[in-house]
Amino acid sequence: MHQVLFASAHVRRIDRNASLPAKFGRLLEKCRFAERFEGKRVAIKMHVGGDIGFTTIHPLFVRMVVDAVKKAGGYPFLTDGSFSTDAAVARGYTHEVVGARVVGAGGELDRYHYKRTTPVEGLPEVEICGNIADADAMIVLSHGKGHGHTGFGGAIKNIGMGCVSYRTRG
57-91 pLDDT per residue, tens:
999 999 999 999 999 999 999 999 878 888 898 89
Distance between CA 116 and CA 105 in Å, rounded?
16
- Residue 99 near residue 66 (C-beta atoms within 8 A): yes
Q: Look at residue 146 and tell me whether its pLDDT is greater than 80.
A: no
- Residue 139 near residue 42 (C-beta atoms within 8 A): yes
pLDDT at position 83: 81
Contacts of residue 150, defined as CB under 8 A and 6 or more positions apart, other chains included, come to none
pLDDT at position 153: 64
- Residue 131 near residue 165 (C-beta atoms within 8 A): no
pLDDT tens for each residue of 79-133: 998 788 888 988 999 999 999 999 999 998 889 999 999 999 999 999 999 999 9
End-to-end CA distance of the chain: give it in Å, rounded.
Answer: 37
Task: List b or e across 148-160, with b for residues whose CB sees 16 or more CB atoms inside 10 angstroms.
Answer: eeeeebeeebbee
Q: What is the pTM of this model?
A: 0.89
pLDDT at position 152: 61
